[in-house]
C-alpha cells in the first residue's frame, strides 16, 4: 500500500501539499481529488522508476474494481492539472507497454513557521480579496483551507470560529398578523450581528429554511456548521412590543443568554442594537471601535419609517413581481416620512434593480431610477455596505465589471458577512470566465449560506469550467437535493454534462429543467443544439417546434432551423429557409449575427461582412453578444466569424487583428483556470488559419479529451479546412462521431 505521507514536496515548478491535497504555483492553488494526489505521490516516491498500471490499480484504487482505462484517465487528468500537455513531457512520461514514470525533479521542503505559513496561504490563495478586511480573509481562508470541495457529500463543517444563525422570529400576537414584520425584524437583526467582523452569521436562505420546523438546535448547528443559534418571538399589542430572545449553544443545546424587551414600536432599532451587543458580550467578543461604527451605520430612520422598511424587506425577499412592487411602495412611504434614511435608499434602489428580471425592464431604465437613490444614500451614509453591494450588482448588470468588483470589495470590507456581495463577486468572475476566482467567492458564500441551492449550482459551473468534474458533480447533486423543483439546478447539471462531453446525460437534465420551466426559450435552444451534436436533426427541429408552441421568438426559431438545415441537407436548404425568413433584412443583432455565421459557413464572405457590420449598429446589440467570455468558453466567437469574413474578402490584416484579440482573450481565460473545451477548439481554429496544422491538432485532441463533441460542426468549419485531408483529423472526428452515435442511441432508448 502507498505510504501515508503528508510532508510537502517540490515537484518541478509545483509545491505539492498532500496534507491538504493541493498543488500550488505562484499565485495559483489547485485542489486535487484525494485519489489523484495518491497517484501523484506514488509517482513521486518511485524515484523516477516506471510504475506499472497494475501497481497503480493496487495502491491507488485498493479494494475497488476498476479497469486499466481508469489509470489512463487519471494520469491524463493529472497531466492537465500539472499543465504537462506538450508532446515532450516535463512531468509524467509514458513508457509504452510498461507504465508511467515521473520525470520532473522531486525534493522535500521544510514547512514554514506558523506566521509565515499563514501569510503564504493568504498571498497564494486570495489575490482577489487584496484590501478586504480581516474578517473576510478568515472566512475565505476557512472556505478553502478547510477545503470544502466535497461540499455536496456531507454537512458543512462545524468551525472553530464563533458563528450564529438567527432563526425566523415567531409571531405570537393574538391575531397572528405580524409575521411579515417578524421576518423583516429577523433579517435586519442578522444584518446587525453581521457587522461584528469576528462573528460568522449564517445568511437568510439557510436561516429561513427552518421556519415553522421543530428541529433540535444541535441538528441545526450540524447542518449549518454553526456554533450558536438565536431564537426569538414577537408579540405586539397596539404600539407596545414584546420581543423575547435566547442564545443557545448548538453544541449541547445549553441556553447561554435570554432577555425580554418590553418597548414601544419606536424602539425597534434600539432592541436590535441591544440584542447584537448582548450576543457579543455572551460570546465574549470584544466590539472594536470599527465594529461599533458599523453598528452605528445601521441606525437612523424615523420610527415609523423604520417599521415600513422592515415590512419592505419581507416583501422584497419573496422575489415575485407583486411582492417587489409592494416593497417599492413601502420603501417610498418610508422615505416620504424620513428623507435622510440611508437604508431605505439602498433597499429602494435594490428593488428597482430587481425589476430588470421580475418586470422585464431594461437595465438602462432601472439604472435611471436606482442611480440617484444610491448617490443620495452614499452622501448620507458612506459607510453603509448595503449601498455598495447594491451598486456593485447594478454595475455588473451594466457590464461595468471592474467597477462592480471595486464596489463589492468595499462592501465586503465593511461587512465580511455580506453573502450577497460575496456571491455577486462570484457571478462577475464566472460570467467573465475566471472560474478560479469565482470558486473562491462561491465557496465563501456557501459557507455563510449552506442551504442556498443557487450557490452550489454556481460552484458546479465554476468547477466544471476548471475540468474538476467529480467535484462539480457533487456540487450539482447537492444543488438538486436542496431544490428539487428549481430549474436552475438542472440547468447547471446539464451544462456540466455538456462540458464533460456526456451529451445524453445533458439531455436528461435539460428535460428536467424544461419540466420546471416550460416557457424558457433558452432551454429549448440548448436542447436543439445538444440533439444536433448527436446527429439527431429531426429531434432538434421537433424541439424548436415545441419552443414555438411555448411562445418562443419566431425569428430566433427560424434562424436556428436554417442552421439545422445547413448541417443536415447542405447550403441550398439553408438558403431557402433564410430567404423565406428574410434574415438578411432583420433589425435584430442576434439574427444578423447568426445569419452572418451561416453565410461564412457557405463561403459567402462579402454578404457575411455586410451583415456583421449591420449587426454592430443594431439597437438591441448586447455587450454579452459579441465574444463575451461566457460564450467564448463554449467555442462561440463572432470575432472568429469576422476574421473569416475579412479573410474571405482579402483583408488579411483585419483578420489577423481579430485573431490576435481572440487569442489574447483565450490566454487570459486559461490563466484564470478555464479548462472548458471551447478555449481549445477556438485555439485550434486560430492555429489552423495561421498554418500551424500540427498545433491545431494538438488543441483539438485536448478539446476532445476534456469533453468536446463537435464533430458535425468541425466537418463544416472553414477555419479547419486545412485539416480536412489529414488522417489524424479524420480519425479524431470518426472517434467523436462513434461516441455521438452511442449517446444518440442511448438517448433514443429513453
Region 95-104 average pLDDT:
83
Q: pLDDT, tens digit, for every residue of 685-731?
A: 999 999 999 999 999 999 999 999 999 899 999 999 999 999 999 99
CATH number of residue 37's parent domain: 1.10.10.10
Kindly report which listed range (234-248, 448-462, 636-650) carries the lowest average pLDDT score: 234-248
- Calculate the CA 292 to chain-centre distance: 34
Give me the half-sphere count of Cα atoms (radius 13 Å) on the Cβ side of residue 170. Answer: 13
Q: Taking the alpha carbons of 148, 153, 158, 160 in that order, is the dihedral positive or negative? A: negative
Question: Residue length, the chain?
Answer: 750
Mean per-residue pLDDT, 308-324: 89
Share of the chain above pLDDT 90, in %: 49
Gap between the Cα atoms of 343 and 330, Å rounded: 13
| Same domain flag for 530 and 576 | yes
d(CA 61, CA 41): 14
Same-domain status, 577 and 631 = no
Residues 291 and 181 in one domain: yes
Closest CA to 675 of 639, 707, 713: 707
Regarding beta strands 9-11 and 106-108, do their DSSP bridges make them parallel or antiparallel, or are they unpaired?
antiparallel
The lowest-confidence range among 584-593, 615-624, 662-671 is: 615-624
Helix (H) or strand (E) holding 70: helix 68-81
Kindly state whether residues 589 and 663 are assigned to the same domain: no
Integer distance in angstroms from the first to the last C-alpha of the chain? 43
Neighbouring CB atoms inside 10 A of 363's CB total 18
Strand partners, 204: none
Listing DSSP states for 629-645 in one string gives HHHHTTT--HHHHHHHH
Half-sphere exposure of residue 307: CA atoms within 13 angstroms, side-chain side: 13
pLDDT at 722: 95
Rounded distance, CA 341 to CA 332, Å?
Answer: 11
Domain that holds residue 535: 519-594
Residue 274 CB: number of other CB atoms within 10 A? 17
Q: Is the domain of 201 the same as that of 87? A: no
140 Cβ contact list (under 8 Å, min separation 6): 125, 126, 129, 440, 444
**Whether 636 and 742 share a structural domain:** yes
| Contacts of 566 by beta carbon, 8 Å cutoff, 6+ apart | 573, 574, 598, 601, 602, 716
pLDDT one-digit tens code per residue, 115-157: 333 332 222 222 222 233 333 333 333 333 333 333 433 444 4
In this prediction, residue 465 carries a pLDDT of: 96
DSSP 717: -
* Partners of 230 in the β-ladder: 166, 247
The burial of 64, by beta-carbon neighbours within 10 Å (0-12 exposed, 13-18 middle, 19 or more buried), is given as exposed
Boundary-marking domain end, from 594, 609, 638: 594
Whether 176 and 290 share a structural domain: yes
* β-sheet bridge partners, residue 263: 241
Question: Which of residues 258, 287, 303 is at a domain's end?
Answer: 303
| Domain co-membership, 650 together with 570 | no
Please tell me the predicted confidence (pLDDT) of residue 87: 65
Q: Which three cell numbers stand for residue 99?
A: 507504465
Cβ contact 268:189 at 8 Å: no
139 domain-assigned: no
- Give the C-alpha separation, 271 to 591, whole Å: 57
- Provide the sign of the torsion angle of the four alpha carbons 327, 329, 332, 333, taken in this order: negative
pLDDT of residue 121: 26
Tens digits of per-residue pLDDT, 218-253?
999 999 989 999 998 888 888 888 888 999 999 888
The verdict on 175 and 298 lying in the same domain is: yes
| Whole-number pLDDT of residue 68 | 62
Q: Is the pLDDT of residue 392 over 90?
A: yes
Are both 656 and 733 inside the same structural domain?
A: yes
Q: Is 617 among the domain residues?
A: no
CATH number at residue 586: 1.25.40
Q: In which band, very low, low, confident or very high, does the pLDDT at 3 lie, cut at 50, 70 and 90?
A: very low
- Residue among 413, 496, 501, 488 at smallest CA distance from 454: 488
Last residue of a domain, one of 303, 318, 336: 303
Task: Summarize pLDDT for 607-620 with one digit per residue, the tens.
Answer: 999 999 998 888 88
In a domain, 265, yes or no: yes
Helices 268-282 and 289-297: angle between axes, nearest 10 degrees:
150
Q: Using only the alpha carbons of the chain, give its radius of gyration.
A: 28
Together in a domain, 652 and 562: no
How far out from the chain centre does Cα 297 lie?
31
The SS3 of residue 6 is: coil
Q: Scanning the structure block, which residue is given the C-alpha cell 428539487?
A: 484
State the burial class of residue 310 (Cβ atoms within 10 Å of its Cβ: 0-12, 13-18, 19+): buried
DSSP at 157: P
**Cβ atoms 324, 358 nearer than 8 A:** yes
Q: Are residues 44 and 175 in the same domain?
A: no
Domain of 274: which CATH number?
3.40.50.10070
Per-residue pLDDT reduced to its tens digit, 510-562: 999 999 989 888 899 999 999 999 999 999 999 999 998 888 788 889 999 99
Could you tell me if residue 27 is inside a domain? yes
Supply the DSSP string of 74-137, one letter for each residue: HHHHHHHHTT--SSS-SSEEEETTTEEEE-S-EEE-PPPPHHHHHHHHHHHH-GGGTT--HHHH
Element (H, E) at 163: strand 163-166
**pLDDT tens profile 345-389:** 999 999 999 999 888 888 999 999 999 999 999 999 999 999 999
In a domain, 78, yes or no: yes
Is 550 domain-assigned?
yes
Q: How many domains does the chain have?
A: 4
**CA atoms of 27 and 36, how far apart (whole Å):** 21
State the residue for C-alpha cell 523516477. 48
Condensed to tens digits (0 to 9), the pLDDT of residues 570-589 reads: 999 999 999 998 988 898 88
Is 31 inside any structural domain?
yes
- DSSP of 214-244, one letter per residue? ---HHHHHHHHT-SEEEEEEEEEETTEEEEE
Q: How far is CA 617 from the centre of its chain?
A: 31
Assess if residue 399 is contained within a domain: no
3-state secondary structure 195-220: CCCCCEECCHHHHHCCCCCCCCHHHH
Amino acid at each position: 500500500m502507498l505510504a501515508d505521507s503528508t510532508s510537502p514536496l517540490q515537484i518541478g515548478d509545483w509545491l505539492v501539499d498532500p496534507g491538504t491535497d493541493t498543488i500550488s504555483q505562484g499565485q495559483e492553488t489547485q485542489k486535487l481529488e484525494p485519489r489523484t494526489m495518491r497517484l501523484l505521490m506514488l509517482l513521486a516516491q518511485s524515484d523516477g522508476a516506471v510504475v506499472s498500471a497494475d501497481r497503480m490499480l493496487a495502491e491507488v484504487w485498493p479494494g475497488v474494481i476498476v479497469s486499466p482505462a481508469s489509470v489512463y484517465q487519471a494520469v491524463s487528468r493529472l497531466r492537465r492539472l500539472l499543465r504537462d500537455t506538450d508532446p515532450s513531457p516535463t512531468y509524467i512520461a509514458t513508457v509504452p507497454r510498461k507504465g508511467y514514470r515521473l520525470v520532473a525533479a522531486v525534493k522535500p521542503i521544510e514547512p514554514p513557521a506558523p506566521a509565515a505559513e499563514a501569510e503564504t496561504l493568504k498571498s497564494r490563495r486570495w489575490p482577489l480579496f487584496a484590501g478586504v478586511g480581516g474578517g473576510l480573509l478568515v472566512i475565505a481562508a476557512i472556505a478553502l483551507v478547510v477545503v470544502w470541495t466535497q461540499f455536496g457529500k456531507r454537512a458543512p463543517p462545524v468551525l472553530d470560529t464563533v458563528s450564529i444563525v438567527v432563526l425566523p422570529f415567531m409571531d405570537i400576537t393574538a391575531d397572528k398578523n405580524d409575521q411579515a414584520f417578524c421576518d423583516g425584524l429577523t433579517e435586519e437583526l442578522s444584518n446587525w450581528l453581521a457587522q461584528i467582523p469576528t462573528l460568522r452569521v449564517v445568511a437568510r436562505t439557510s436561516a429561513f429554511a427552518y421556519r415553522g420546523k421543530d428541529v433540535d438546535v444541535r441538528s441545526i448547528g450540524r447542518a449549518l456548521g454553526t456554533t450558536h443559534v438565536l431564537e426569538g418571538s414577537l408579540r405586539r399589542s397596539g404600539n407596545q412590543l414584546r420581543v423575547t430572545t435566547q442564545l443557545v449553544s448548538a453544541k449541547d443545546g445549553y441556553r447561554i443568554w435570554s432577555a425580554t424587551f418590553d418597548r414601544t414600536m419606536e424602539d425597534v432599532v434600539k432592541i436590535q442594537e441591544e440584542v447584537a451587543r448582548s450576543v457579543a458580550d455572551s460570546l465574549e467578543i470584544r466590539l472594536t471601535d470599527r465594529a461599533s461604527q458599523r453598528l452605528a451605520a445601521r441606525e437612523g430612520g424615523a420610527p415609523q419609517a423604520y417599521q415600513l422598511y422592515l415590512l419592505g424587506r419581507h416583501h422584497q425577499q419573496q422575489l415575485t413581481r407583486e411582492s417587489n412592487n409592494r416593497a417599492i411602495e413601502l420603501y417610498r412611504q418610508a422615505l416620504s416620512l424620513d428623507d435622510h434614511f440611508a437604508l431605505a435608499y439602498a433597499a429602494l434602489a435594490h428593488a428597482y434593480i430587481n425589476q430588470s428580471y421580475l418586470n422585464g425592464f431594461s437595465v438602462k431604465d432601472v439604472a435611471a431610477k436606482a442611480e440617484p437613490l444610491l448617490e443620495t444614500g452614499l452622501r448620507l451614509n458612506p459607510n453603509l455596505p448595503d449601498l455598495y453591494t447594491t451598486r456593485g450588482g447594478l454595475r455588473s448588470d451594466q457590464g461595468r465589471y471592474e467597477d462592480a468588483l471595486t464596489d463589492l470589495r468595499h462592501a465586503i470590507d465593511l461587512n465580511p458577512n455580506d453573502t450577497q456581495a460575496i456571491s455577486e463577486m462570484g457571478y462577475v468572475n464566472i460570467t467573465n470566465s475566471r472560474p478560479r476566482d469565482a470558486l473562491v467567492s462561491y465557496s465563501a458564500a456557501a459557507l455563510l449560506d449552506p442551504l442556498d441551492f443557487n450557490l452550489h449550482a454556481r460552484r458546479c459551473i465554476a468547477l466544471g469550467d476548471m475540468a474538476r468534474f467529480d467535484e462539480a458533480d457533487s456540487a450539482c447533486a447537492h444543488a438538486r437535493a436542496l431544490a428539487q423543483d428549481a430549474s436552475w439546478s438542472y440547468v447547471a447539471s446539464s451544462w456540466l454534462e455538456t462540458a464533460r462531453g456526456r451529451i445524453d446525460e445533458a439531455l436528461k437534465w435539460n428535460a428536467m429543467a424544461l419540466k420546471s420551466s416550460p416557457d424558457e426559450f433558452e432551454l429549448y435552444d440548448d436542447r436543439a443544439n445538444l440533439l444536433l451534436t448527436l446527429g439527431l436533426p429531426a429531434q432538434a427541429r421537433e424541439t424548436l417546434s415545441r419552443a414555438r408552441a411555448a411562445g418562443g421568438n419566431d425569428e430566433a426559431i427560424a434562424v436556428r432551423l436554417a442552421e439545422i438545415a445547413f448541417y443536415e441537407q447542405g447550403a441550398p436548404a439553408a438558403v431557402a429557409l433564410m430567404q423565406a425568413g428574410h434574415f438578411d433584412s432583420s433589425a435584430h443583432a442576434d439574427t444578423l449575427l447568426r445569419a452572418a455565421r451561416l453565410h461564412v459557413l457557405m463561403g459567402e464572405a462579402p454578404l457575411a461582412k455586410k451583415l456583421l457590420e449591420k449587426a454592430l449598429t443594431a439597437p438591441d446589440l448586447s455587450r454579452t453578444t459579441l465574444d463575451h467570455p461566457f460564450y467564448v468558453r463554449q467555442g462561440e466567437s463572432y470575432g472568429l466569424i469576422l476574421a473569416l469574413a475579412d479573410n474571405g474578402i482579402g483583408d488579411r490584416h483585419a483578420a489577423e487583428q481579430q485573431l490576435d484579440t481572440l487569442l489574447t482573450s483565450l490566454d487570459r481565460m486559461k490563466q484564470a483556470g478555464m479548462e472548458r473545451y471551447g478555449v481549445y477548439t477556438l485555439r485550434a481554429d486560430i492555429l489552423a488559419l495561421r498554418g500551424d496544422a500540427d498545433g491545431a491538432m494538438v488543441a483539438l485532441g485536448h478539446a476532445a479529451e476534456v469533453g468536446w463533441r463537435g464533430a458535425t460542426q468541425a466537418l463544416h468549419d472553414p477555419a479547419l479546412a486545412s485539416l480536412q485531408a489529414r488522417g489524424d483529423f479524420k480519425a479524431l472526428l470518426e472517434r467523436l462521431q462513434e461516441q455521438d452515435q452511442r449517446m444518440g442511441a442511448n438517448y433514443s432508448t429513453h
